Amino acid sequence: MTTTTDVASLPLAPRNPLSLRELVKAMRDLDTGQLVLRDAGGPISRIQFGPRWLFPPAVSVFSPEGIRDVLGRNDQFAERCLVHDEVRHLGGDSLFVLPNAPWVPRKRALQPVFTPHNVRNFGGHMSRAAQSVVADWGGGGEVDLDVDCRKVTMRSLGRSVLGLDLNDRADAISGPMHTASGYTTDRALRPVRAPRWLPTPARARARAAVATMRRVTNDMLQACRADPTRDAPLVQALIAARDPETGQALSDEDICNDLLIFMLAGHDTTATALTYALWALGHHPDIQDRVAAEAAAVGDRELAPADVGALGYTVQVLREALRMCPPAAGVGRLAVRDIAVGGYRVQAGSLVLVGIYALHHDPQVWPQPEVFDPDRFTPEAVKARDRWHFAPFAGGARSCIGEHFAMLETTLALATIVRAVRLRSRDADFPVDVPFTTVAKGPIWATVTPRDRGSGLR
């Protein structure tokens, strides 16, 4: 472990040479802007918009070693950053945004809920949701993958989390989610922000959006309190959760806050991963047919969580999709003391920007990074690869707690859809927005045709 003396002797990260205008543009393009920063300033560079007392420096980190130094640490060197503060102020305390001290007992209470074993108990709705969308496609035709994958995710996430189909409450969930996430990210990225006490139309809309979503989560929580047998698996699991060290249960407010963030983050990330994977397969018929054959070999029945072990190539496809289009383009931390990152000193008070998109598109790490190649994730390749070359769910103590759930759900959906239909993507590019997490900038058009009966579930 690097000592304080060692850190003090290290040089500061070199200043990024881009102009102020170029820096601002790159910082607002949260995915491809990382490549601009890296090409100009290298794998680690310092971004300074003005005097340190007015604008704390930001340090962009794109190398595996640097990302390890930021995310792989166990000491309390950093707190969540501005965007997390904005989400916390708007949506309340949740596992995603809590500072380190109160985060520890919340993580202890929630971790058992999201083990691979327990996730199978509330993660089996995706196959049925995917099959219902396939049924809507009927004899085939032109479909918008973005719209339909959102339907799949809303239905599955709703059943798994709240025990209801969120498509039935789309007006109360989907629109408000985008309003709230767009507001928090836009505010966090502004060099100068209006004080929170100042009423603005954008803040009013965001608060109304959160209130709308909170009514949905609170209604279901109270229904589960009244009926412990109600089929709302994740709500019931959160009600039963206890801190194993103190025995403390979660309050109703804590549960609603966590449900809110699970919906906010889980919907967009899962929908985008599924949409991108299907779009990529629509350009690679040979890979697509291999996924279909693997899924068909499981049997002519609904796929279940226990089948994921037999869907190894499908998982490889999904991981390659997550590499090329990571659900979180980057994550941020606020250094609370001087730390060593990639051989440089990062000063206390600096915003540390970890570029997952740049990592996943680094030709030094991934040869021909723009080529879609699931064989990058064979068991042998995964075993030989450095842990910090692939980080779609971040890493370290504060990695995404829903990783197992997301992988399970998306694998089942991908296999279910490709087993039933053949896709041909119409668009050469996959445009995205990054308001909070990465989302498809739809429509994403594809032509679908049913596979023959021997290839999948009808």
Q: What is the pLDDT of residues 301-315, one digit of tens each?
A: 999 999 999 999 999
Taken as a whole, the chain contains a residue count of 458
Listed by start position, the domains of the chain span: 1-92+329-367
Q: What tokens appear for 26 in the block?
A: 């790159």
Facing residues of 423 across strands?
A: 448
Mind listing the pLDDT tens digit for each residue in 55-84?
A: 889 999 999 999 999 999 866 776 666 666
Find the Cα–Cα–Cα–Cα dihedral 181, 319, 427, 138, rounded to 10°. Answer: -90
- Closest listed residue to residue 331, CA positions, set 298, 355, 364: 355
Radius of gyration of the chain (CA): 22
Examine the pLDDT at 243 and tell me if it is beyond 70: yes
Scanning the structure block, which residue is given the tokens 């929908």? Answer: 271
Question: Which of the 8 DSSP states describes residue 343?
Answer: T
- Closest listed residue to residue 284, CA positions, set 423, 135, 403: 423
Q: What tokens appear for 62 in the block?
A: 């794109």
Q: What are phi and psi of 89, to 5 degrees?
A: -65, -35
Question: pTM of the full predicted structure?
Answer: 0.89
If one looks up domain 1-92+329-367 in CATH, what number appears? 3.30.43.20
If one counts every other C-beta atom within 10 angstroms of the C-beta of residue 1, the result is: 7
CA gap 393, 412 in Å, rounded: 19
Residues 6+ apart with CB under 8 A from 455: 292, 293, 296, 419
Please report which confidence band the pLDDT of residue 176 belongs to, taking 50, 70 and 90 as the band edges.
low
